[in-house]
Amino acid sequence: MNLFEKAKSFSKTFQQESIEAIQNLDLDAIAQIAVTLYEAKENGKNIFFFGNGGSHGIASHLACDFGKGTKNSVRKDQKYYKVFGLDNAAWLTAQANDGKEPFILGNYPGTYTHGYDGVFVGQMENFINPGDIAFGISSSGNSPNVINALLFAKEKGAKTIAMVGFDGGQALKIADMALFVPSEKGKYGIVEGVHEVIHHLLYEFAVLLEK
């Protein structure tokens, strides 16, 4: 098999796995979360998107689309999505660099301090209120800083959503609602690709509701 044939074979397998993953999505769960995000907007609640690596990129993309892309210049009575991507580079790296300094405000759930395991908690704690939404993204569902942020959000009376892959990990068990892409462990390309499909589905529905 030459290089072209190998690339074509790989592409076909990747295509088939992606299609299967999309076909197996829980549409009831997606619909419920779509409604939850809209209701949060209508009630003036904050929505926090967060993740690491590729998931961090998806979180920022979600915040961008919901924050800017849902605005309708024709509507004068429109309420806007109050979104945070938790992606301020200076704040995030300062938080991670603080290492073992404890959180000041008390005994939050989770075994972490002001280091990297608390980078999302450290940003959320300035803004979070009961009824807000914490939307954590992790292919494995086991990223410590995502887990801690979900636990922290629950402690503060916020609703929690986990967008995960593989076997769902801890996040699938912790979150109030989940967007789960079951897959073979390590299939980041499939999981992150389908996560982006879900992202655009949620966003396009949100845009539809603003027309």
Q: Is the pLDDT of residue 202 over 70?
A: yes
CA distance 197 to 90: 30
Rounded mean pLDDT, 25-48: 99
Distance separating the N- and C-terminal Cα atoms of the chain: 52
Domains and CATH numbers, the chain: 42-209 (3.40.50.10490)
pTM score of the predicted model: 0.93
CA distance 211 to 209: 6
Three-class SS state of 189: helix
- The tens digit of pLDDT for each residue in 86-144 reads 999 999 998 888 766 555 444 555 455 568 888 999 899 899 999 999 999 999 999 99
